[in-house]
Amino acid sequence: MTLILSLILLGIGFILLTKGADYFIDNAAVLAEEKGIPPHVVGVTIVAFGTSLPELLVSIISSLNGYNDLALGNIVGSNISNIGLVLGTSCFIFFYLLNTTIKPENDANSDSYVMLLAVFLLYYFALDKLISVNEGILFFSFYLIYMYWLYIRSVNSDRDPIEQDNVSYIFLIGGLISLLFGAQLTVASAVDIATYFGISEVVIGLSIVAIGTSLPELAGTVSAAKKGHKEIAVGNIIGSNIANIFMVMGILAIIKPIDVDEMILKTSMPLLMFITVATFGMIRIPMGRLSGLILFSFFALFLYELVL
């Protein structure tokens, strides 16, 4: 496959990923709201799950095709991008366009503990340079427990269902199909480009693929931010990062144990822990321009590490 064709297919893959996620998220969020589910819970469940589907599909396809480094790099890089790029951008939108700050509610504070636990568990399990099947089962079990906890919270919510019928099930299913094809194209073309330039799979996974699969989070969060829905904007990032580790990493390790690359263990994972701890602290105070600058600086450092 020529370089030009690979670049074209990579672009098509990203478009399918992004548009598929958009249609899925829009209709899934409306469906949840019609059932009276709180906005934050919508963000950390329906929207977060939808925006994590690209990471899940890309990582599974990569792993099954023998590109384990690309799969792991995709998850770690995507989580860093979600916070540094996506949440940082949201802070700027709220500050400059809406003339306000992001003031996360108690639900976001509670879920941030789960996000912090996920990151530190990932690093601890990766110290022996292998995410085993048993560790994958534990990850996925934590995700199921987290989903049950969110279900209990939504049941106890005092929000009333909205009587309307704006959900398009055709676009809901079509979005999922688009995600699947987009994931396949993204993996195949990214590996071809990496081979052409002699770039390692892990760097491609941490950069091009990770940022590409974060585009749905960026689109969903920016859209929510522009409309002033801070609960969904913050919940999307927290829920997606939890899903990427507990759900995606768990499923991957169950399918096939994951070998941890030295570069990811020594540089990317420590940076992911730092940016997660910083976010854990910042969402307890109003997040404005300064918070956006701090988060985006972490993302810039991440990109700098990749080119060293």
Residue 17 is part of which domain span?
3-307
Residue pLDDT, tens place only, 177-194? 787 677 778 777 877 887
Nearest to 214 by CA among 21, 42, 11: 21
Residue pLDDT, tens place only, 22-53? 777 677 667 666 666 676 677 777 777 776 77
Q: What mean pLDDT is predicted for residues 57-62? A: 78
pLDDT of residue 205: 77
Q: Per-residue b/e over 163-184, b at no fewer than 16 CB within 10 Å?
A: eeeebeeebbebbbebbbebbb
User: How far is the C-alpha of 71 from the C-alpha of 68, rounded, in Å?
Assistant: 5
pTM for the full model?
A: 0.80
pLDDT of residue 256: 87
pLDDT of residue 224: 67
- The DSSP element (H or E) to which 131 belongs, if any, is strand 130-131
Max avg pLDDT among 62-66, 79-83, 183-187, 285-289: 79-83
Which residue in this structure is represented by tokens 């002033």?
A: 228
Q: Backbone dihedral region of 66: left (phi > 0), alpha (psi from -120 to 50 degrees) or beta?
A: left
Q: Which 8-state DSSP code applies to residue 2? A: -
Quickly list DSSP for 114-130: HHHHHHHHHHHHHTTTE
pLDDT of 150 > 60? The answer is yes
pLDDT of residue 278: 93
Nearest to 51 by CA among 251, 171, 214, 235: 214
| Residues 90 and 222 sit within 8 Å (Cβ to Cβ) | yes
| Domain CATH code at residue 153 | 1.20.1420.30
Nearest to 63 by CA among 258, 199, 268: 258
| Residues 90 and 236 sit within 8 Å (Cβ to Cβ) | no
pLDDT of residue 229: 65
* Count: domains in the chain: 1
**Whole-number mean pLDDT of the chain?**
81
Max avg pLDDT among 77-91, 95-109, 165-179: 77-91
What are the angstrom distances between the C-alpha of 148 and each of 65, 140, 167, 240, 281? Answer: 33, 13, 25, 16, 26
pLDDT of 8 > 60? The answer is yes
Residue pLDDT, tens place only, 237-282? 888 899 989 998 999 899 889 888 888 899 999 999 999 999 999 8
